Every structure is written in structure tokens, then in C-alpha cells.
Amino acid sequence: MAHIAVITSGLFGMLHSSLEVVSRLKSEGHQVTYLSSLDLRSKLEGKDISFVQLPSINFRYWPTHNTLLRSWPMRLKHHIKNLKSNNTLGKKNLKFNKFEEVLSSVNPDKLIIDVELHEVIYSAISLKIPFVLLNQWFPNLRAPSVPPMQTDIVPGMGFRGSKAGISLAWTFIKFKAHIRILILHLVIERYRASVLKRYARELGISRNSLKYSSFPPFFHYKEITTLHMTLKDMDFPQIDVPKVVYVGPMVMDNRDKQQQTIDSEFLDIFESRQNKGNKIIYCSVSTLNNGDLGFIKKVIEAVKGQSNWFLIVSLGGKLKKSDFMKVPGNVFIKEWVPQLEVLKNTDCSINHAGINTINECIHFEVPMLVYSGKRHDQNGCAARVVYHRMGLIGNKDLDTNDDIRTKISTILKNPEYRNRMKEIGKKYKKVKRSCLSEQLYL
């Protein structure tokens, strides 16, 4: 069997998804080493996973630490003066040689690299180590019937969902991206992307295979196989794209047993659902911010007086329990909850359209009421939930208490949503049973 190195940013969502990848590869008999720039030793403790720490990635690279160059005229003067050396200095500061040293010491047969870690990607190309890319999002590739991930456009719904509307949306996204690039060039703050692009040419990566991407940044690699940890049956219908492989949601349902400890009051709620038919609504808002306090209060008001509804709210560290002085008896607010255990006993998930929470809802077949956080891919994920009738969508800024109550009631009373989640769940389980190694082309 092969020695595979899995390399990610180590950030929360990607960490747990990639650890499920590691678990499946190990179960198939492979030796796996996990690499990240973050020190993850405490989080990997007891998981029997070999860990190697990478050098830190300089996401906001600037060619000098001289604080006098913060003003634009000084930056321009420095840039012009050092035109010939900027690229050489940039390659040094982006630490390609150090990444290569670590990869050589690990000596894997194949790499699985987080799609955002361009320095690692280029180091693998330089060392000629076979690799595939790992992406936690749906493909964000232009197609006539597939809108950009940054929008909430649902194909076939109104003018925006027509081919003309979708084409306009892509044109607008591309226009904004070019304006952003132009501004960064003018203020001389695009060194990392520029160095990466030049180094790609040195490595023989053709312009045709390296496409600028606004999400995820900076580039899309057309000729490199990319594993998307999403379910193809949840994406919009489209023709198969070469090098795009859907491996399905990676939900690590046995993660850290200590953190999955259940409060006794939750056990009582779960029991009342089992024995009395009460309904549990779980609202997770981990990526919302303090400005969304009003939205959470509207959700609380929406369930007030509903004697057979129980609302569990997970604040996720962004808000505090003390922000909610008086809450109804059927509402339970926690700064953290064991999400997987709660979802296992949930009838309706109210979430921000983050792909990891959506994947977990698929895992437990829970219909959703989605209020997009309007960041990154959240609008696009929300649109896919609506398109596939996996739940309903709302607007956290416009929906009233009554609107929220009506939508929750619709999801709880209409069996279509639960049945649809069961259908999606069957397709997910079929993908999960497949051999991951074969999808890696090992």
C-alpha cells in the first residue's frame, strides 16, 4: 500500500473533513502522514496519526519589514527600485525551499494538498511528487447553467436563473475580480500572487492550465485532479468536467469523544422527542457576527409559545450567552454544543449555509432552514439547498418572527423535506461506501 501525505491549512472545517479522509485511507490499508503549518499535535493526540509541521505560509507577503514603506509613494519607489530582485526575494520569503525540504524528508508516494496552499502545490511540482488537490467546496467553474458560488441564484428561477441571467452574473463576478486585481496592483499589494504566477511559469505550468480564481483564491488548476468533498447529487446539473472528482461529504462522526459530552438537559429533550413526538430545532451560527444578534432573537421569538418545539442555539464563540437575558422555557442557548450529537436528534437545522454544516445535515438526513451568512460560498450552498428541495431559504435581514415561524412549521409539517433528505442520504451513503483510494487514482 502507498504512503500518502495529506496537507491542509488546519483550519476548523478543513481539519475535520480531512481527518475523515485520513481515517478512510488508513482503513483501506495506507500509511498516512498529516502535514499543516498549524501545530495540530494536541488536536491529533490519541488519533494514531503521524504529524509533521510545515513552515508558516506568508499569506500577506510584503518584500520588506520596513515600516516606513507603509505609505503608497514609498512603496512605489521601493517597488521600482527593486524590480529585478522582487521575484527572487519573493521566492525566498514564500519559503519554497523550506517546503521542499519538508516534503523530501516525509518522502510520500502521493500527496493530497489543500487547494489554497499554492506554495505546497508548487513545491510538489518542483520535486515531481504525484499529487491531487483537496477542495471542501463545490466546483466554481463557469458553465451556461451553473451560477457563481458567490450568488444565491437558483437555475430556472426567474430571469436571474435563466442562461442570460447566469451569464450576466459570471460577467459581473469577473468584472469585480479584475477591478480588485487592478486596485491591488495600483496600491502595490499583490506580491504573493505575482510571485506565485511567475514561479508557475518557471515550473512549466501553462497559462491555459492556470486560471485566475476569485473563489477560492488565487488560481484554479485545470489540469490537476481536484477532489471535492461535496455530493455531486447536491450540485446543479452540469456536464462532467475533466479532473473534477466528487468524493462526497467527509463527516468525522466519531471526532473527539470528550468534546461530544451531552448535557443532561439535552438528553431529556431527546427523550421527549422520542417518546412524545416533540420537535427539536437546532440553530448554529458559528460564522455569524455580533451584528446578527437581532436575527437570533427573532428565531427565539419565532418558537416562543410553541409547546412541542424545542430550540437549541449554539453561539459558536461569536456571541455570548449573557447577550440573551430572558428566553422562553423551550429555548436552550449554549456557547458551544456537540453539534453532531445534536443533529442526530434534530428535526430542522437553522444554519448559515456553511458547507460543513450542510454536509453534516446530509449525514444525519436533517432538513434545513438556511439563512446565508453571505460570505464565500454560503449563497451558492443556500441556492443548492433550495434547488434540491432539501429545505427552505430565508433572509436574515428581512424575515420577521412570523416569517421564521411559518418556515419552520412548513419544514416540520411537510414530509417532502424529510423524505428528500432521506433520498440524498442514500446517495451519500453509497458514495461513502466506495473505495477512496480508487478515486485518488492510486
**Residue 321: is its pLDDT beyond 70?**
yes
**Residue 71: is its pLDDT beyond 90?**
no
Q: What is the pLDDT of residue 65?
A: 52
- Between 88 and 257, name the one with better pLDDT: 88
Q: What is the pLDDT of residue 258?
A: 47
Least confidently predicted of 44-48, 105-109, 347-351, 378-382: 44-48
**Residue 442: is its pLDDT beyond 70?**
no
The arithmetic mean of pLDDT across residues 377-404, rounded, is 95
CB 245, CB 431: distance < 8 Å: no
What confidence tens digit (pLDDT) does each residue in 2-58 have?
Answer: 999 999 999 888 999 999 999 999 999 999 999 999 999 988 888 889 999 999 988
What confidence tens digit (pLDDT) does each residue in 163-187 have?
Answer: 999 999 999 998 988 887 787 777 6
Strand order in the sheet with 3-8: 50-53, 31-36, 3-8, 110-114, 131-135, 226-228, 244-246
What confidence tens digit (pLDDT) does each residue in 131-144 have?
Answer: 999 999 999 998 88
Is the pTM higher than 0.95? The answer reads no
Measure the CA–CA gap between 372 and 389, rounded to whole angstroms. Answer: 16
E strand or H helix at 89: helix 83-93
**Residue 263: is its pLDDT beyond 80?**
no
What confidence tens digit (pLDDT) does each residue in 74-120 have?
Answer: 767 766 766 666 677 778 888 999 999 999 999 999 999 999 999 99
Q: What is the pLDDT of residue 268?
A: 83
**Residue 63: is its pLDDT beyond 60?**
no
Q: What is the pLDDT of residue 91?
A: 83
Backbone conformation region of residue 10, classed left if phi is above 0, alpha if psi is from -120 to 50, else beta: left
Per cent of the chain over pLDDT 90 is: 56
| Domains delineated in the chain | 3-62+92-250 (3.40.50.720), 264-430 (3.40.50.2000)
Q: What is the pLDDT of residue 440?
A: 74
CB 380, CB 138: distance < 8 Å: yes
Q: Which residues contact 19 (CB under 8 A, 6 or more apart)?
A: 34, 44, 47, 49, 252, 255
- Between 234 and 68, name the one with better pLDDT: 234
